[in-house]
Amino acid sequence: MARDFMTDHGQLRDLEGQQYVVLRPTGAVMHEWDRSRDTAQRRLGGTVRYPGAAHVTLRGLYEPERVDEVRAVIGEWAAQQHPIELVTEAVDSFPAPWQIVIARLARTPSLVHAYASLTDALDRTDLRRIGELPLDDWTFHLSTVYAKALDAEDWARLASDTRHDYPTPPVETVAEVELVTYRDATEHREVIALGGRGVS
Q: pLDDT per residue over 126-139, tens digit each?
A: 999 999 999 999 99
- Kindly state the percentage of the chain with pLDDT values over 70: 98
Domain ranges (residues) in the chain: 9-193
Both ends of the chain: CA-CA distance in Å? Answer: 14
Give the separation between CA 24 and CA 178, rounded to whole angstroms.
7
Q: pLDDT per residue over 81-96, tens digit each?
A: 999 999 999 999 999 9
Would the pTM of this model clear 0.75, i.e. be above it?
A: yes
What is the CATH number that goes with domain 9-193? Answer: 3.90.1140.10
Q: pLDDT per residue over 140-150, tens digit each?
A: 999 999 999 99
pLDDT-based confidence at 103, cuts 50/70/90? very high
Chain centroid to CA 99:
16
From 158, 149, 188, 28, select the one nearest 91 (Cα to Cα). 158
Give the separation between CA 189 and CA 179, rounded to whole angstroms.
6
Q: Which residues contact 108 (CB under 8 A, 6 or more apart)?
A: 84, 85, 86, 87
Q: Which residues contact 107 (CB under 8 A, 6 or more apart)?
A: 140
Give the separation between CA 66 and CA 199, rounded to whole angstroms.
18
User: How many beta carbons lie within 10 A of that of residue 120, not counting itself?
Assistant: 10
The count of residues in the chain is 200
From 86, 114, 89, 115, select the one nearest 104 (Cα to Cα). 89
